[in-house]
Amino acid sequence: MRDYMTALQRRFHIRSDQAAALEREAKAAHDTLHDALSREQQKLLLRFVDAENALRDEEKLDSFFSGFRLADGIRRELSSVEPHAYEQESERQAQEE
């Protein structure tokens, strides 16, 4: 299911101009910091950046997945296919946590 949601997220993702500008700014700051560090510090910086990128990707997918589930719950409620399905799903998730 996660692979399917990843494919959907990639298909419908729209990148804002602000996100592109922030990425350029972060890259410039990273390059400046990288040049000022020793070899060991550079390795530590790269590990940090890799971990942060992996976390961001995971959170982005989780957010997309949550939005998709919310939209599906609203669709079900509006179509009366499964009345109160969203409440039941929320209760089930709360019990699992």
pLDDT for 18: 92
Residue 62 pLDDT more than 80? yes
pLDDT for 16: 86
4-30 pLDDT, tens per residue? 878 888 888 788 889 889 999 999 998
Kindly list the distances between the CA atom of residue 59 and the CA atoms of 6, 32, 73, 82, in Å, as whole numbers in the listed order.
Answer: 12, 27, 21, 29
pLDDT for 14: 81
Q: Give the helix ranges, DSSP H, for the chain.
A: 2-12, 17-36, 39-79, 85-96
- The Cα–Cα gap between 6 and 58 comes to 10
66-92 pLDDT, tens per residue? 998 888 888 888 887 555 555 666 677
Please count the residues of the chain: 97
Would the pTM count as exceeding 0.85? no
